[in-house]
Every structure is written in C-alpha cells, then in structure tokens.
Amino acid sequence: MNLEEKKLLNSTIVQNIVLENREKLTITGVLDVLSFDDEIVVVETDLGLLNIKGAELRINKLSIDTSEVIIEGNICNLCYSEKNIDKKRNSIISKIFK
C-alpha cells in the first residue's frame, strides 16, 4: 500500500510529537526526511514541513513503514511551515528581485 492509498483510507490526519527533556523527539505522521545535519533536521509530515533546530542532533530511528522518526540531541526549536508555497507570491517575489 503506497502513501496516497494510506491517506485515502485515513481521512483524518493524526500526528504526534513527543519531546522528552528537550533531548529526545518522537514524531509520527512522517512522510520523508528532506535534510539533516547536527544543527537542523527538516522533516516532511502530513501537516507540513517541520524544522527541528538544536545542537548535536542525530536521527536515532527512521521508519517510513510506521511513519515514525526519533531524533536525539539538544533540541531548541520546532517550527512548521506549509508544504505548498503559493506560486503567485513566489512569482511576484522572483519578479521583484530580477
């Protein structure tokens, strides 16, 4: 069963984020890990892009089958951004800075 089929079966999206002592972060509802290093991890979730910032970050567990990621390290910031950037705004900004 692919991801799109799973989404159709589950009409409501459930995502859990558990942060333990700012050292261990467990995230469910993960589609992909887009980038990571020891200071920032960018995760694509059902609810948008999630940026995790900190120090000495490492991905301890990544399971696309269960849609779960565990990140350990010194976690300082969690920030969501939208998956789909408005193309009209993007084109206007690109025209201004040409």
pLDDT digits (tens, 9 = 90+) for 19-38: 999 999 999 999 999 999 99
CATH number for the domain that contains residue 22: 2.60.40.2000
Prediction pTM value: 0.71
Two tokens at 47? 């609810």
Query: For 38-56, what is the mean pLDDT?
Result: 94
Q: Specify the number of domains making up the chain.
A: 1
For 61, the domain range is 3-96
| pLDDT computed for residue 82 by the predictor | 73
DSSP the chain: --HHHHHHH--S----EEEETTTEEEEESEEEEEEE-SSEEEEEETTEEEEEEEEEEEEEEEETTTTEEEEEEEEEEEEEE-SS--HHHHHHHHHHT-
pLDDT of residue 26: 97
